[in-house]
């Protein structure tokens, strides 16, 4: 075990080119053996359970169900992933080196799964574009338009994952998160639905 003494904020991670260089290197790894991967998915029952905890209008619920139906693109095994890049899983050594740890959710899928936690809150179009631009500087082969939609889908998936995890775990933070999601999703979901629907209609 290694002691990583310094915490890193989400703002610091989102601005640091080393964040995206590390993720691009990780995503470019070609493994000679097949390790044990966590199987990431976004299922209909997961969505139903999350919506039972939230207080959204039927129209907003329909939008989240539709985003779930678009989400298969997130889990196509294109590259290896950390699967959990939230700021609590990053730190700095004494020499300033940025370190990503906690590989419990190591898996495969879209790079957007690792980029979505670096967007503060639910984010808006400019926030997604900024993250994508920094990642593309480290990984020029990615398609910015496809990655934008996948990033939106990944943010929606995180909502479902977090709500279900907190509910099943019975953590004291559950109500605080639910109240926050109930306040921001009515503004965010219509935009996310429009961006994802447009992209899928052009396929």
CA angle, corner 187, sides to 53 and 57, nearest 5?
45
Q: How high is the pLDDT of residue 70?
A: 95
- Sign for the pseudo-dihedral over CA of 21, 70, 31, 8: positive
Q: What percent of the chain has pLDDT over 90?
A: 89
Q: Average pLDDT for residues 85-100, to the nearest whole number? A: 95
Q: Spell out the residues 6+ positions from residue 34 whose beta carbon is closer than 8 angstroms to its own.
A: none
pLDDT category of residue 198 using cuts at 50, 70 and 90: confident
Question: What is the edge-to-edge ordering of all strands in the sheet holding 90-92?
Answer: 6-7, 90-92, 98-100
Reported as a single tens digit per residue, the pLDDT across 52-92 is: 999 999 999 999 999 999 999 999 999 999 999 999 999 99
Q: How high is the pLDDT of residue 151?
A: 97
Q: How high is the pLDDT of residue 170?
A: 84
Q: In terms of C-beta distances under 8 Å and separation of at least 24 residues, what long-range contacts does 7-10 make, across chains too?
A: 7/87, 7/91, 8/87, 8/90, 8/91, 8/92, 8/98, 9/87, 10/86, 10/87, 10/117, 10/118, 10/120
Reported as a single tens digit per residue, the pLDDT across 148-194 is: 999 999 999 999 999 999 999 888 889 999 999 999 999 999 999 99
Paired residues of 38 in beta bridges: 107
**Do the beta carbons of residue 154 and residue 74 sit within 8 Å?**
yes
- pLDDT of 36 strictly over 90: no
Residue ranges of domains in the chain, CATH in brackets: 6-201 (3.90.1200.10)
pTM of the model: 0.94
Write down the mean pLDDT value for the chain: 94
Q: Tell me the residue ranges of DSSP E strands in 59-168.
A: 79-81, 90-92, 98-100, 107-109
């Amino acid at each position: 075990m290694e002691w990583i003494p310094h915490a890193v904020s989400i703002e610091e991670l989102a601005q640091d080119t080393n964040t995206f260089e590390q993720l691009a290197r990780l995503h470019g790894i070609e493994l000679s053996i097949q390790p044990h991967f966590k199987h990431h998915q976004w299922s209909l029952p997961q969505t139903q359970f999350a919506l039972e905890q939230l207080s959204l209008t039927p129209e907003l619920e329909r939008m989240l169900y539709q985003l779930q139906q678009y989400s298969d693109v997130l889990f196509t095994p294109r590259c290896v992933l950390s699967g959990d890049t939230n700021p609590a899983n990053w730190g700095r050594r004494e020499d300033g080196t940025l370190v990503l740890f906690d590989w419990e959710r190591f898996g495969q899928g879209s790079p957007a799964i690792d980029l979505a936690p670096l967007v503060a809150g639910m984010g808006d179009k400019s926030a997604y574009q900024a993250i994508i631009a920094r990642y593309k500087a480290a990984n020029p082969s990615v398609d910015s338009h496809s990655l934008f939609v996948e990033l939106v889908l990944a943010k929606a998936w995180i909502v479902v994952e977090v709500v279900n995890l907190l509910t099943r775990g019975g953590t004291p933070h559950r109500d605080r998160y639910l109240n926050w999601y109930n306040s921001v999703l009515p503004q965010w979901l219509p935009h996310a639905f429009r961006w994802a629907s447009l992209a899928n209609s052009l396929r």
